[in-house]
């Protein structure tokens, strides 16, 4: 067997490994990934700062600071029925790091009795 043949045979496993690495990269970036369903969040509003909200996923424990007298439970939201200022990508990051997501939602509606204390939910 010639030296050139031996060199090619030794190089072949490395080429296969490189090809497998490329395949792994392609599979990891596949756009056909299954999308996870949008989580539902329990929504709390700060009483002295009515534009400040805290969203906590329904399957997570409510943080102790929300149980105090300054926060009020105002309902549930999803990304599809979120307040202005709520962004799902930021909420997921905040929850991953802290277990909750704080955000500002500016009021969008005025009721017949005056300004609403809770912004209207907007469908996305």
Residues of the chain with pLDDT under 50: 25-30, 110-124
Q: How high is the pLDDT of residue 104?
A: 93
* CB contact at 8 A, 58 and 81: no
Map tokens 């056909």 to a residue.
32
Q: How far apart are CA 105 and CA 116, in angstroms?
A: 13
Report domain extents, the chain.
1-34, 41-115
């Amino acid at each position: 067997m010639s030296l050139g043949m031996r060199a090619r045979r030794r190089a072949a496993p490395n080429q296969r490994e490189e090809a497998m690495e490329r395949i792994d990269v392609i599979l990891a970036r596949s756009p056909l990934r299954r999308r996870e369903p949008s989580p539902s969040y329990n929504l709390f509003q700060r009483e002295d700062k009515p534009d400040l909200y805290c969203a906590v996923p329904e399957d997570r424990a409510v943080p102790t600071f929300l149980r105090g007298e300054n926060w009020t439970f105002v309902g549930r939201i999803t990304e599809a029925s979120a307040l202005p200022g709520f962004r799902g990508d930021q909420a997921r990051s905040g929850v991953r790091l802290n277990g909750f997501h704080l955000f500002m939602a500016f009021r969008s509606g005025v009721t017949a009795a005056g300004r609403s204390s809770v912004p209207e939910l907007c469908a996305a």
